[in-house]
Structure 1
């Protein structure tokens, strides 16, 4: 949960993923082991210097600093009050929960999905419990946070090829998105099901799920552009070339509208990322020159932390495949 212990859970999971003990981290940072243990157990607030040191040690790109700042003072107090009094949750507490989830999602891009699963599941369970007891005018906003939290857990499982767990979470996320009346979250849950199908080498499943995302009412144009391109990829791999080109044309028709700021729940859908989607579509159509050009340009245009993200390996492999057939 996005409470003071959340920082410690995230750091402990990241240390474990990198094969480092708390004692080893304390020694590397020249801190007392007992002090670091208390901080990571949520029993003592970390100093700014410790947070910055842990961020550097774990190559977190400033995201641990951001998370600690969001949990400091007012945010942590509001979240603790909401946990103790769920029926009186207020807008600032919901905002604090959303901010911590956003920091977790950015950490996934930097440290990878595996160390984020435990902290994300802990947060998800707590916000789901909070939702069950919540009352009042801010409950609807809380539903969106819960839906995104469950969806993010589904993404982490999909990223680590724990497909059954991913599907279970994404189905739950889709139901919560409908309860929240959020077309963007509902479309994203379907999109992640399409991603799973692609990892499984199942082009028919890709067409089914990316089509569902593309046609979800309320989806953002940036989502719909990417979904249409990925439908085209699946159709191309099935040999349905005419239909694939039609969907690719539909994706390109959304290009101008897709340049608007993407929704925060799909923050990665920048014009550079769309080049990756277009490249995969051309790869499905066996248009290798175009595929390579789009994917290379897309990778080069990503932020530095995204270029090293676990999910980017798929696109790097797709680029190598396209170049091998040129």
Structure 2
């Protein structure tokens, strides 16, 4: 199996989602893909340990995609070798009453990674320009000045919100957060198959919600708004990667490999050097412990 080239998945110019395949039709075996993933996640785990000691950068991994696109299982499989102290996962669902008392980005700010850690947003701040565009009535819950009804939510409102998101990402990048955003590009037919499996497999019944079918009816709207959001917020410092996701195993490997390769650009991430005086006295410290 060929090595993954992150540039092939990175959005560097306006894209049409309809023109991008949802499956690479890679002929690699399941064992081959698992072996590749296993190797990369071990390297990522070791890197995170060094990052923790270096204590200069945080890493924000943003995962977006339609229901059943594989975000949850990817988190489980890609990051399972991490030290638990070094990775935190946040899933942003319907804002609660406390969150609605703040601006829409507040709950995302407070979940940003500490220096030396990874944070994974499973659904992200982009819900605020995706779900809310399909269901603009949700905006009314934010109690914003000058917006009393859906008719007052204009195109300028959405453009301003995406500019605010760009500024949010610019701000956190300039302050030491490395940002990578992944869109899980799945076909509507593949989603149908995965929803059916949830209904047919008893142990997966808990994953099914009738709301999944309701949102599926708005598939075309979601694709339209995903495409617009990606095109308006893909920046060099906070890039989007479009990941073919009909094959979950391949999608996991691609994401892991992209993260690994992108992190190699940060050549300053190294374990801190001990003070020379401390190193010179190692023998004394060892002798002190041996005599206890």
Please report the TM-score for the alignment, with normalisation by the length of structure 2: 0.30
Give the structure with the higher percent strand.
Answer: 2
Identify the structure with bigger relative contact order (alpha carbons < 8 Å, sequence gap 6+): 2
Mark the structure with the bigger radius of gyration.
Answer: 2
